């Protein structure tokens, strides 16, 4: 009798311990206040970015775009695959910046350049017709702070952020960007 009672208490203690660990893991992930943790995985709150524009005249913050879907697009003027992807990003911007969403107030592209040369960067923006206003860089190339913050080790790289600042998808290209964005559209 003693051993079966002890065994039941041990089982209850183990179940309770596992439940506490699960709860701790969940609250550690979302934070004690219910907010998602800051990080670069799907489900994380996107880290803040605040860098100068292409003319080095204005600080542009990612958080300024809260309330919109945002494609954070890492690229560079010297990157062939990035330049070949730019027409898809332009098409997405043209299509979704005019769309009505189920949640949120629009779509914006926040371009992060890994260039070292301001002139080459600005020429590529113009040549590729990247007509949105959120272009930033610290001109640090692979040593740039935005690349470090987002763990970017190859480009092109992208992060799709919802109106609440949560990363909902990563590295969408061409049609996959359209397929993901179409999930959130109310009408065009």
Q: What is the pTM of this model?
A: 0.81
pLDDT over 70, % of the chain: 81
- pLDDT (tens, 9 = 90+) of the chain, 188 residues, equals 445 554 454 444 433 443 333 334 443 444 455 788 999 999 999 999 999 999 999 999 999 999 999 999 999 999 999 999 999 999 999 999 989 999 999 999 999 999 999 999 999 999 999 999 999 999 999 999 999 999 999 999 999 999 999 999 999 998 999 999 999 998 65
Q: How much is the pLDDT for 35?
A: 80
Q: How much is the pLDDT for 33?
A: 57
d(CA 130, CA 137): 15
CATH T-level topology, domain 50-187: Glutaredoxin (3.40.30)
Q: Where are the domains of the chain?
A: 1-35, 50-187
d(CA 19, CA 141): 46
For 178, counting Cβ atoms within 10 Å of its Cβ (0-12 exposed, 13-18 middle, 19+ buried), the class is middle
What element of type H or E holds 46? none
Q: Name the one residue in this structure whose structure tokens are 């009798």.
A: 1
The token pair that represents 41 in the structure block: 């995985």
- Asked whether the CA dihedral 82, 87, 88, 90 is positive or negative, the reply is positive
Q: How much is the pLDDT for 4?
A: 53
Q: pLDDT tens-digit profile of 117-142?
A: 999 999 999 999 999 999 999 999 99
């Amino acid at each position: 009798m003693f051993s079966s009672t002890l065994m039941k208490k041990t089982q209850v203690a183990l179940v309770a311990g596992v439940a506490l660990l699960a709860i701790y893991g969940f609250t550690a992930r979302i934070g004690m206040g219910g907010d998602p943790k800051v990080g670069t995985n799907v489900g994380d709150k996107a880290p803040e970015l605040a860098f100068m524009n292409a003319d080095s005249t204005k600080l542009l913050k990612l958080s300024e775009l809260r309330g919109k879907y945002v494609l954070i697009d890492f690229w560079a003027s010297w990157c062939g695959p990035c330049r070949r992807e730019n027409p898809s990003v332009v098409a997405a911007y043209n299509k979704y910046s005019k769309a009505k969403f189920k949640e949120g107030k629009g779509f914006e592209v926040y371009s992060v350049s890994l260039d070292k040369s301001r002139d080459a960067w600005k020429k590529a923006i113009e040549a590729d017709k990247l007509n949105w206003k959120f272009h930033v860089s610290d001109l640090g190339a692979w040593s740039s702070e935005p690349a470090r913050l987002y763990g970017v080790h190859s480009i092109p790289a992208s992060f799709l952020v919802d109106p609440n600042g949560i990363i909902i998808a990563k590295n969408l290209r061409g049609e996959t960007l359209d397929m993901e964005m179409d999930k959130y559209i109310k009408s065009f």
